Every structure is written in C-alpha cells, then in structure tokens.
Chains A and B, each alone.
Chain A
Amino acid sequence: MQTSLKRFIKVLPFNVFVWILLTLYLAPVLFMIVMALMPTSQLGDKKAPLYPARITPYKYDGQEYQLYNVPMEDGVQTMALIKPGRTSSLLVDPRHPENGLVEWRGDWRTLTGIYEFHIAWENFAHLFDSMPVSKMVGNTFMLAFIGELGVLCSSIVVAYGFARFSLPGGNLLFYILIATILIPEKVTFIPTFYMYIKVLQWRGTILPLLVHLFFGNAVYIFLLRQNFKSFPIDLEEAAMLDGAGPLRRLISVILPQAWPVVITVSLLHFFYTWNETRLASLYLGSSSTWIPASFAVQNYQSLIRIDNLIEASTLIMLAVPVLILFFAQRYFMQGIIITGAENNR
C-alpha cells in the first residue's frame, strides 16, 4: 500500500501536466457539451452564468413568472416580475403573494435575474422533432454495413496477396498502391463525377457512395499488408504442407492473428462513413430518402442559427462513435503498426 502511494506521488506531477494539456486540448468539446445543455433563453443573456441555467421560475395566479433581484427602498429584494415595463413594472413579493402587485419605477432590463442550474433537455426533444433521427441513423448504419462488407473483404484479400505472394514486376505494384494514396482526389474526381451523374444517371442512388469500396481502399490495404507481413510465416508453411490452399490459409491462419488491425481498419471506415458528407451532398442531395445522419445534421446546422441547438446536434452525432470507441479501445488504442518487418517473438 505504502509503495503504491509513493509511486502515485512520484508520477503525480507528470499526470497533472498531462491533465492540464488535455483540458486545454478538449476545452472546445467541454464548451460544446455545456452549450448543448443550455436553454435558448440563456444565449443572448450576458448576465447569465457560464453553466446551463435559467432564471428561477415562480408561479403566481396559475401563471409562470421569473424571479429578479430588485433594489427597493428597504434594500435588494427577491421579486417576481409580473408585468415588465421600461419606466415602471409590476412585481409580486414571493414571500407574501397575498399582498398583491407592487409597482416599481425603473427599467426592468437593468434588473439581474436569480439563476438556477437547469439542463435544457427540451433541446434534444426539439432535435428529434425536427429531424427523422432514427431513419437517418438507420441509413448511416446501412451504408456503413454494406461499405464495411465491401471494403474489408476486398482489402483483406488484396493485402494478403501483397503480403505473401511474389507478384510480377517485383515491388512495382506495391509502389503503385502507395502512389494511389498520394494522388489528389480532384484529378480523378471530375471524370468520375461526370460518369456517375450524366452517363450512368446514378444521382439519387447510393451506388456512387459504395461501388468503389468493393475494390479495396489503398490506405487500408497498406495497413493490413504491413501487419500481415509481421506475422511469422512458419504457421502458414505448416498449413500449406497440410494441403491448405491460399484462401484457407488466409482465413484460418492469418485472420485469427489479425483481429486488432482488422478491427482498427473497420473502425476507421465506420468513423469515415459516420462523418461522410461530401459524396452524400453530391450524389444523394438533401431530399433523398437515403440521407445519412451526418449530412442531415450538417444541413440542419448550416440552416439553424441557434447555438445551443447546433451544439446539441453535434453532441448527438458524437454519441455513437464515442460509444463504439469506448468499447473497442482495447484493440484500437494499442496503436497502428506500419512497419512490415517480420516479428519473431
């Protein structure tokens, strides 16, 4: 016990340093979360506190009013504002409502409200009312599912080909693979766009978002290949002597060792699909029934100018990937290995 406490004290300065860095790094995220929980009435109010809050409500005569600090003859009093006015307002003393309305002379806008902590859950209710959330999220999951299926199957098979088979031209094809990562998208985009829109008439369908995924993704192929190469080859040779063909070896020897990198790649692709808006805006359009969540939320955010609703929609959008990241952290957070040296541990 003593030693662990000693160790804790020893590592504390380092950890405090990391916590400070992290707080600075994530400050806008914290800001976003707090904003998302604020009621709309707080937004333009410069006297309001930084945390989500509202002016304390008070019920009088069956109606809801707000409590203010009012300077009266006998000092500052807590009063409920019944009828605000520029030169005189009507107030009620919440401790003695039976005394009736009191007139107060002065501009009600100079008064400071009495704030109480209040989370505006209605922001989220508003979002769910103004967007078909479950439909959008369902669309995204459908796109993610088809996309993952295509991109994982093709990339794994291709990466296996690159990792374990000598190909004609030596390393030339592998260098071409790397080169395709570096090609600016614009140079291939214009003819592809024309092809999809004018020749194939695929506007409004999900095909332009998915077709290319079935031919593998160069970055994923590269990551998978580097990992496959780092596995010891003996097991595969043993399987080969037992008569296992190439695909058999891939499925029963390589894949069982490759779960971390396969999970990493599938997560990278899921996050991509979850946030993808470019292809959706080009080929689907905002009125499509296939509209994915990211694009719908982006449209919502660019149309609505109310900050707390914008941040609330961001918070909702983040919930799914953060949950997934949380459950997959054991694999994902181990780091990505990119050197292809054989590992003989």
Chain B
Amino acid sequence: MQTTTVIKNRISTKSNVSVETRFKRQVGLILISPWLIGLLLFKIVPILASFVFSFTDFHLLNPEQIQFTGLQNYRILMRDTQAETALWQTIKLALVIIPLQTFASVFAAALLSSQQLLAKNTMRLLFFLPSIIPAFSAALMWQGFVNPSTGWLNRLILSPLGLEALNHFSSRGGGGGSSQTLFIISSLWTIGPSILIMMGAMQGISNEIYEAAHIDGAGRLTRFFKITIPLITPAIFFSLVLNLTAVFGGAILLDRGSRWRNDFSSYDGYVNFVLFEMFKLGYASSLAWVFFVIVMIIVLVMFATSKRWVYFPDREN
C-alpha cells in the first residue's frame, strides 16, 4: 500500500515538473523567436543560398542566364594566385594583429584598474577615445601623422633625435610593407571594447584573494600573473574570438565602418573586387564559402583548446 502511494506521488510530481518545464520551454521559445526568425532569414538561408550560388556562373548583370557549372568555380579558385596571396596575407596579418591587440588590451586594462591611477574615469575615456574614430578618418590621421614633410613623427620625434625621415612610410596609397606596419600599429586603435571587457573581468576578482596572496608573500608581479591573468582568461578568450572575427570579417563589437574597396582584410578586399568590379556572384560565393570553412576550422580549434586554458566559472556549478 505504502509503496504504491509513494510511486503515485512520484509519478504525479514528475508529470507536474514536465508540464512546468514544457511551459517554460514554450515561453523561452517565444521570447527568443525574433532571433530564431532572424537566424533563418539572415544566416541560414543566405549561407545555403551562397553555397548553391558557388556552383553556378551567377552574374549580377544577367541573372536570368544562371547555369550550374558544377565544380568549375572551385577549380578556378585552386589556381587563383590572387586569392591565395590575399588569403595568406590575411592569415599573416591576423597572426600579428590579434596577439598584439590582446596583449595591449590586458596591459591597458591593468593600468586603468590600478589603485594608483589618478583621474581614473578621464584616463579610461581617453584610452577608449580612438576606438570611436571612424576607420576611414583614422587611416587619414595616421597617414598625415607619418607624412615625411608635414607629419609630427618626423618633425617632433625623428628629426630631433637625429634620425632619418621615414620617406617610404607610405603617403596615400603608398608601398606595401611599410603601410602594413602602419596598419598593424593603427590596429591598436580598436582595442577599446577589449579593454572594457578585461576591466570588467578584473573588477570581478575579489580583493580577498589578493590580500591572501599578499600575506603569503606574493609580490605585485606574481599576483598579476598567478591571480589576475588566470582569472580573466574568459575575458581574454572572448576578446581573442572577437578580434579574430574582426580580422576575418565577422561581427565586430564596436564597428567603426570602412569602405568596401579597402576592407579590413585583404581577402575581403579581393572578394569585394570580384563582386563589385567583376559582378561574378557565383565565383565570389565560392571564395566566401572557402573562407567560411577556414574560419570555422580555426574557431573550432580555438574552442576545442579553450578547455585547457580558460577558466569557466559557470562550468563549476
């Protein structure tokens, strides 16, 4: 007798729970439905469509004469040296820019959260300021700044030190290598959001941990490397991911706009060229798809290795 009631009770509570969770799920689905619809309309359908386009000779000027060409686009792509150079350039740039941005934003966040800093809010605002300058204007500013005859780099820094003027440092549209240097340096002007993320993470660390370490005799540097850095690894990971997607043309936390022609990465620039100058939608789609697959592989590798070095507090509960 007793056991049956217990079982009955169990069954009844179980079904109650499931009704409740079902209701919760329905409410949740309704709440996220705007995003779900957007996901379908602006992500899934376009991704599939461009996959289909990539097997055709789709041309913007005569879209009616679209024909399936099979693997033709991908065969052309394999021999496209321009695409290959652009891709390698993008990857090389990413390998330099992303570590630089990450290091600089951790460093700046550490300075800006320091107890010793005077006028904290003003300093934070000033360090953030370059990140809201439109990309196009920022590029012009840097070009003016390094201009050999009128820029301050030569007149205020190099010539007083007796150094030679950097004539090759690219005026408008200038030569390859040095304008890339300029580009890398000016990429430090986009780290504002990353600094904010690192600062947010640093504020989340309780003072007790630092005090305990201090009592145990840990110096300032030890505390920074043994406490701060490990505890902000989620923020570092997040900003790594965001900087990566920014270089590879994904979502940007703080988009400052730019021009289609000289987009952020050279690969993007090449796709734009194929799209807007040659109007080859089909070929551009296959270029985009190859890039999509490469980026997704990089991201998957990042996420797979993240368990080893990122401390996820949510995962503990």
Is there a chain B Cβ closer than 8 Å to A91's Cβ? no
Interface string of B18-31 (1 = CB under 8 A from A): 00010011011111
CB distance from B200 to the nearest CB of A (A): 3
Would you call B144 and A317 a contact (CB within 8 A)?
no
Would you call A336 and B156 a contact (CB within 8 A)?
no
Interface residue from B25, B196, B259, B288 paired with A187 (Cβ < 8 Å): B288
- Chain B residues in the interface with A (C-beta under 8 A): 21, 24-25, 27-32, 34-39, 41-43, 45-47, 49-50, 53, 60, 63, 109, 111, 114, 116-118, 121, 123-130, 132-138, 140-142, 144-145, 149-152, 155-156, 188, 193, 196-204, 234-235, 238, 241-242, 244-245, 248-251, 253-260, 268, 271, 275, 281, 284-285, 287-289, 291-292, 295-296, 299, 312-314, 317
Measured between beta carbons, the chain A residues less than 8 angstroms from B200 are 334-338
Is there a chain B Cβ closer than 8 Å to A290's Cβ? no
CA distance in complex: A216, B39 (Å): 9
Knowing A31-B145, A180-B39 are in contact, say whether A335-B197 is a contact too (CB < 8 A): yes
CB distance from A304 to the nearest CB of B (A): 11
Would you call A182 and B299 a contact (CB within 8 A)?
yes
CB distance from B252 to the nearest CB of A (A): 8
Would you call B31 and A215 a contact (CB within 8 A)?
no
CA distance in complex: A248, B34 (Å): 18
Report, as a range, how many residues of chain A touch the other chain: 35 or more
Is there a chain B Cβ closer than 8 Å to A166's Cβ? yes
Interface string of A5-36 (1 = CB under 8 A from B): 00010110011001001100111111110010
CA distance in complex: A43, B73 (Å): 50
Knowing A182-B241, A317-B137 are in contact, say whether A162-B32 is a contact too (CB < 8 A): yes
CB distance from A10 to the nearest CB of B (A): 8
Knowing A186-B268, A329-B124 are in contact, say whether A339-B288 is a contact too (CB < 8 A): no
CA distance in complex: A184, B152 (Å): 37
Interface residue from A25, A46, A298, A339 paired with B201 (Cβ < 8 Å): A339
CB distance from A18 to the nearest CB of B (A): 6
Would you call A294 and B134 a contact (CB within 8 A)?
yes
- Chain A residues in the interface with B (C-beta under 8 A): 8, 10-11, 14-15, 18, 21-22, 25-32, 35, 43, 46, 50, 154, 157-158, 160-162, 164-168, 173, 176-177, 179-195, 198, 212, 214-219, 221, 229, 246, 264, 268, 271-272, 274-278, 281-282, 294, 297-298, 301-302, 307, 310-311, 313-314, 317-318, 321-322, 325-326, 329-330, 332-342
Interface residue from A271, A278, A332, A334 paired with B259 (Cβ < 8 Å): A278
Would you call A333 and B125 a contact (CB within 8 A)?
yes
Question: A43-B150, A181-B241 known; 6 other A-B pairs, CB under 8 Å?
Answer: A31-B145, A187-B289, A268-B253, A272-B255, A275-B255, A314-B133
Interface residue from B24, B49, B150, B295 paired with A307 (Cβ < 8 Å): B150
Would you call B295 and A298 a contact (CB within 8 A)?
no
CB distance from B119 to the nearest CB of A (A): 9
Would you call A190 and B313 a contact (CB within 8 A)?
no
Would you call A334 and B203 a contact (CB within 8 A)?
yes
Knowing A298-B259, A311-B144 are in contact, say whether A246-B289 is a contact too (CB < 8 A): no
Would you call A188 and B47 a contact (CB within 8 A)?
yes
Would you call A338 and B234 a contact (CB within 8 A)?
yes
Would you call B234 and A165 a contact (CB within 8 A)?
no
* Closest B residue to A276 using CB positions: B257
Would you call B35 and A216 a contact (CB within 8 A)?
yes
Knowing A184-B249, A185-B249, A190-B285 are in contact, say whether A277-B145 is a contact too (CB < 8 A): no
Measured between beta carbons, the chain B residues less than 8 angstroms from A322 are 129, 132
CA distance in complex: A301, B149 (Å): 21
CB distance from B272 to the nearest CB of A (A): 8
Interface residue from B27, B116, B138, B145 paired with A165 (Cβ < 8 Å): B27
Knowing A27-B152, A190-B53, A335-B200 are in contact, say whether A268-B116 is a contact too (CB < 8 A): no
Knowing A43-B150, A314-B133 are in contact, say whether A154-B254 is a contact too (CB < 8 A): no
Would you call B50 and A161 a contact (CB within 8 A)?
no
3 tightest Cβ-Cβ pairs between the two chains A and B: A215-B38, A165-B28, A161-B31
Would you call B235 and A329 a contact (CB within 8 A)?
no
Measured between beta carbons, the chain B residues less than 8 angstroms from A282 are 260
Give the residue among B31, B37, B124, B199 with the most A Cβ atoms within 10 A: B31
